Chain A
Amino acid sequence: MKPILSLRNIVKRFPGVLANDNINLDIYPSEIHSILGENGAGKSTLMNILYGAYGIDEGEVFLEGEEIAVASPKEAIDLGIGMVHQHFMLIPVFSVAENIILGMPGKQRLSMRDIENSVKKAGEKFGLKVDPNAIVSTLSVGEQQRVEILKALYRGAKILILDEPTAVLTPAETQELFVMLRELTEQKVTIIFISHKLNEVMAVSERISVMRRGKMIDTVFTKDTSPEELAQMMVGREVVLRVEKPLASLGDATLKIEGLYVKNEKQVLAVRDLSFKVFAGEIFALTGVDGNGQTELVEAITGLRNVTQGNVNIQGKNATNKSPRQIIEMGSGHIPGDRQKQGLVLDMTIMDNMILECFYKEPYSKQHFMQEDIIEKLAEDLITDYDIRCTGSSVSAGNLSGGNQQKIVVARTIFHEPTLLVAVFPTRGLDVGAIEYIHKRLIEERNRGCAVLLVSTELDEVLSLGDRIGVMYEGELMGIVDGDKADKTNIGLMMAGRKVEEKDETDL
């Protein structure tokens, strides 16, 4: 079989960086081909070249044996190369049909009814069910992604590039996506799947190409490889995929939640009658499909949202409806779910970000004056301790990679030695190396005797870190399972809304 798409000796330079170094790649018709690599390995650059967003400095691209030069995304789609971006290129206030036909040739006058019909037909043809009339902002993330895929196919894409498509999906939606992608290959669509998640590329693709630091390391058949081998190719050294942790030595209940009710922005109850405890020296992993009240619960615990009814108790003290500062001063630390929007002030320096939670206290400020020497010393120490890769403490946080940004948040939270640590999606969007590091730090905190409340939707993370695992569904706790008795099946059932027998926590 001849390759549908061939890249030969592709070189792409950015100021100071060789983003793609002599890349060769063959993609065959109707295969799902994964490009695997850590963040910054050059995967996205390569795909942006294919999609016409970037020009190439050297090398050739062949489509069905013919050399092509893609000068713009429009030319790419005319050639049948479609891209689904990680951050969807959909207009939230537009209908599905409007989004799909945006920029397409046709009559100046739009007959929305005809367009909606043809979008609907296309959806049925490709097995992507969408309501053409629906406004995009009302759709779930998974549905929005389906619209993105359909948008590319509707424009005649034969090759579909998916950039980190699962980053925003729930485990169930991810499974659904994989089924959809396999069905598409039966319709003669070729799929390039970009990811840094080992399990996913193992699950979905026929062949995997691994990139590291701008170079193509190797292309392997999925059936001939293993996650361990892929991880080693990706990182360039051996990676421990299993997290080793000593047995938990439980102390007193640090966090007690009793009969908690919390409302969301729409004044609807997002958390209902929730009660659980987190003990010193354990990691309590709270999981569930995103949007089942975890965010509201965390915000209630950390003082960002008012509690409607019930109690939050930290170290025996009432923390219900206290301000975030009061709660921090009770000894709690919070690693928020979105490091860029909630965790950091991206335009501020690393140094200033490090003291966001304590700048008003001595020794960091005295009589309202910031003690810059002390702050700088603290920042430099934390940069060394937490291995934050940067050119200095006065660089703005926005210039760092995601993994290093997250390390700033983790460093800032942990150096206070909190007695309660609330970590929300602490590894979301990070690469293998950074995930490994953050996991190690969380376990160190647990071993020190901190009570860790881990909120995550990554089942692997929950299963490998959690001493006990709680599952939320529609604002309620479906049950709590011991980490060693939990597996993907029983957790999955609870995530879908099945309750397990309440366990008496006083046994612990």
Chain B
Amino acid sequence: MLSQLLTNPDFYNAAIRLTAPLLLAALGGLICERAGVLNLGLEGMMLTGAFFGYLGSLYTQSVVLGLLIAALSGGALATVHAYFSITIRVNQIVTALGLNMLALGVTSTLFRFIFGTDLKQLQSPGMVPVKLGFLSEIPIIGPIFFSQLPIVYFAIALIVIIHFLLYHSKWGLSIRAAGEHPKALDLAGIDVIKVRYSAVIISGVLAGLGGAAITLGGINTFYDNITAGRGFIAFAAIVFGKWTPVGTALATLLFGMGDALQLRLQAFNIQAIPYQFFLMLPYLITLVALVFMGPSKGPAASGVPYAREQGQSKRKKLIKDKVTEV
């Protein structure tokens, strides 16, 4: 039964599709952590994106606009996180937990406020798989990789893009420096605060898109807490992937496969095992993976707010005129 399942290309196609939301959020969170800010609020940002993406798509009847709104809403929540953790330097974990609860409350409340308690399934326009020409004709690989939702292609491309940005661009160098030794970056003349804000907001945008990839990726609807902890799994994937884009992507794939597996196992309708057990699977994989991961070390300044030292006082104005030698 299991071997039959694991040799079916459909299973792998589903695994990759289910990986995409995690991947988007995890890559965002990765940039954020590399810049020195913990983003445990990925869950809330995903949920916000999932809700507003669905809402936007429904009202504008445009998936593209829906995705855009999802990205903006995730980015907006991330800006709040950035303000708390970078500007007023409060505990980043507490802030993030607060934002997660806020997101859950706001989305559930608005959902009921707009659609009432009568939960008839209003479907929004959603994404459909796009076959990539001849690539989709390749046996096995074609159906698995090249008959996917557009957002899946985007997420995969993002692995390369973020890898390139982090390791081969000036911006990436600043991001990594902000996460390792912000003072060195500051003394080199780069504004640590700006670098960190940019990273946090990007993580929110990507997490928002990740959320929309759930609601607009086939089911095209929303229900309470639809993300169900995927933001936390994405957070764990960053650790499991040792803070690298490729590692993080592979980690999310593991969880995506777990998710695909539990869906299929549920479908087998095995009487002896309650379906809740299968639902538990991705989370169990997360925990077990971290056990095997062993101790790990992230960016040195991750989670540590940056503040300049005291002593800076009012500047003297620069006198441009030539002054005769004293």
Using a CB–CB distance below 8 Å, which chain A residues touch chain B?
2, 6, 8, 14, 45, 48, 53-57, 62, 65-69, 71-74, 77, 85, 89-94, 98-99, 101-104, 106-110, 112
Contacts of A2 in B (CB 8 A): 325
Which one of B66-74, B181-189, B229-237, B261-269 is at the interface? B181-189
**Is the beta-carbon distance between A67 and B173 smaller than 8 angstroms?**
no
Instruction: State the CA gap A99–B184 with chains docked (Å).
Output: 9
Could you tell me if B170 and A54 are in contact, using CB atoms closer than 8 angstroms? no
**A77 adjacent to B184 (CB under 8 Å):** no
Q: Are B169 and A92 in contact (CB under 8 A)?
A: no
* A92 engages B318 (CB within 8 Å): no
- Bitwise, B294-326 to A at CB < 8 A (1) or not (0) is 000000100000000111111111110011111
A85 to B314, CA, bound (A): 23
Residues of B within 8 A of A85 (CB): 187
B189 adjacent to A73 (CB under 8 Å)? yes
Chain A residues contacting B184 (CB-CB under 8 Å) are 89-91, 99, 102
Q: Is there contact, CB below 8 Å, between A98 and B173?
A: yes
Chain B residues closer than 8 Å to A65, beta-carbon distance: 322-325
Interface centre among B174, B176, B188, B326 (most CB of A within 10 A): B188
**Minimal beta-carbon separation of A236 from chain B (angstroms):** 26
Contact A69 B317, CB 8 Å, known A14-B311, A90-B181: yes
Answer whether residue B115 sits at the interface, using C-beta atoms and an 8 A cutoff: no
CB contact list, B23-47 vs A, under 8 A: none
Contact B315 A69 (CB under 8 A): yes
26 examples of A-B residue contacts, CB within 8 angstroms: A53-B187, A53-B312, A54-B312, A55-B313, A55-B316, A62-B325, A65-B323, A67-B323, A69-B318, A71-B315, A71-B318, A73-B187, A74-B188, A85-B187, A89-B183, A91-B181, A92-B300, A93-B176, A102-B177, A102-B184, A102-B188, A103-B185, A107-B170, A108-B171, A109-B168, A112-B168
In angstroms, Cα B187 to Cα A2, docked, is 30
Q: Is the CB of B174 within 8 A of A103?
A: yes
What is the chain A residue whose CB lies nearest that of B182? A91
The closest CB in chain A to the CB of B313 belongs to A55
CA distance A107 to B324 in the complex (A): 39
Chain B residues, CB < 8 A from A48: 311
Asked whether any CB of chain A lies closer than 8 Å to the CB of B180, the reply is yes
Q: B195 → chain A, closest Cβ, in Å?
A: 10
A91 close to B177 (CB less than 8 A): yes
Interface pair B325/A54, CB less than 8 Å apart: no
A69–B187 touching, CB < 8 Å: no
Q: How far is the CB of B144 from chain A (nearest CB, A)?
A: 33
A264 to chain B, nearest CB (A): 19
Does B102 make an interface contact (CB < 8 A)?
no
| Chain A proximity of B322: nearest CB distance (Å) | 6
A10 smallest CB distance to B (angstroms): 11
Inside 8 A of A55's CB, which chain B residues have their CB?
312-316
User: Which residues from B are CB-within-8-Å of A73?
Assistant: 186-189
20 extra A-B contacts, CB within 8 A, seeds A53-B312, A56-B316, A90-B181: A2-B325, A8-B326, A48-B311, A55-B312, A55-B313, A55-B314, A62-B323, A62-B325, A65-B324, A67-B319, A69-B315, A73-B189, A74-B189, A89-B188, A99-B184, A102-B173, A103-B185, A103-B189, A107-B170, A110-B173
Closest to A26 in B: B326
With CB as the reference atom, state the residue of chain B lying closest to A71: B315
Q: How far is the CA of A69 from the CA of B321 in the complex (A)?
A: 12
Tell me which residues across on chain A come within 8 A of B310, comparing CB atoms: 14
Report yes or no: B323 in contact with A93, Cβ–Cβ below 8 A: no
- CB-CB < 8 A to A109: which residues of B? 168-170
Q: Which residue of A lies closest to B184 (CB)?
A: A89
Residue B135 at the chain A interface, CB threshold 8 Å: no
- The answer to whether B180 touches A89 (Cβ under 8 A) is no
Interface readout for B207-237 with A: 1 if CB under 8 Å, 0 if not?
0000000000000000000000000000000
Q: Which residues of B contact A45 (CB under 8 A)?
A: 311
A54:B311 contact, CB within 8 angstroms:
yes
A77→B326 contact, CB < 8 A = no
Interface residues of B (CB under 8 A from A): 168-171, 173-174, 176-177, 180-181, 183-190, 300, 309-319, 322-326
Complex contact B316–A69 (CB within 8 A): yes
Asked if B326 and A68 sit within 8 Å, CB to CB, the answer is: no
How long is the Cα–Cα vector from A101 to B317 in the complex, in angstroms? Answer: 29
| Cβ contact within 8 Å between B314 and A69 | no
Q: Could you tell me the distance in whole angstroms from the C-beta of A80 to the nearest C-beta in chain B?
A: 14
Cα–Cα distance between A107 and B310 once the two chains are bound (Å):
33
A92→B181 CA distance, assembly (Å): 9
Q: What is the chain B residue whose CB lies nearest that of A68?
A: B318
Contacts of A112 in B (CB 8 A): 168
Q: Report the Cα distance A66→B318, complex, angstroms.
A: 11
Asked whether A93 lies within 8 Å of B180 as measured between CB atoms, the reply is: yes
Q: Which of B170, B300, B309, B325 contacts A106 (CB 8 A)?
A: B170
Q: How far is the CA of A91 from the CA of B174 in the complex (A)?
A: 11
Asked whether B180 lies within 8 Å of A92 as measured between CB atoms, the reply is: yes
A6: B residues at CB distance < 8 A: 326
Docked Cα-Cα span, A91 to B179, in Å, equals: 10
B190 nearest in chain A by CB position: A103
A88 to B184, CA, bound (A): 8
The minimal Cβ–Cβ distance linking B166 to chain A, given in whole angstroms, is 11
Alpha-carbon distance A479/B311, docked complex (angstroms): 50
Bound state CA distance, A103 and B185, in angstroms? 7
Q: Tell me the bound Cα distance from A182 to B254 in angstroms.
A: 58
Note all chain B residues with C-beta closer than 8 A to A72.
189
- Can you name the residue of chain A whose Cβ is closest to the Cβ of B168? A110
Residues in chain A near residue B312, CB distance under 8 A:
53-55
User: Which residues of chain A are within 8 angstroms of B173 by Cβ–Cβ distance?
Assistant: 98, 101-102, 110
* Bound-state Cα–Cα, A91 to B181, Å: 6
Hey, which chain A residues are within 8 Å of B300, CB to CB?
A: 92-93
Q: Chain A nearest CB: distance from B243 CB in Å?
A: 10
Task: Tell me, rounded to whole Å, the shortest Cβ–Cβ distance linking B317 to chain A.
Answer: 7
B155 → A minimal CB distance (Å)? 23
Closest to B318 in A: A69
* Complex contacts, A74 vs chain B, CB 8 Å: 188-189
- Report the nearest A residue to B310, measured CB to CB: A14
Contacts of B171 in A (CB 8 A): 108
- Say how far B40's CB is from chain A's closest CB, in angstroms: 23
User: B174: which A residues are within 8 A, CB to CB?
Assistant: 102-103
Q: In the assembly, what is the distance between CA of A57 and CA of B315, in Å?
A: 8
Closest to A6 in B: B326
Question: Smallest distance from the beta carbon of A185 to chain B beta carbons, Å?
Answer: 23
CA distance A2 to B326 in the complex (A): 10
Residues B180 and A53 in contact, CB atoms below 8 Å apart: no
Q: B313 and A57: CB pair below 8 A?
A: yes
**Chain B min CB distance to A46 (Å):** 12
**Cα distance A104–B188 when bound, in Å?**
7
Select from chain A the residue with minimum beta-carbon distance to B183.
Answer: A89
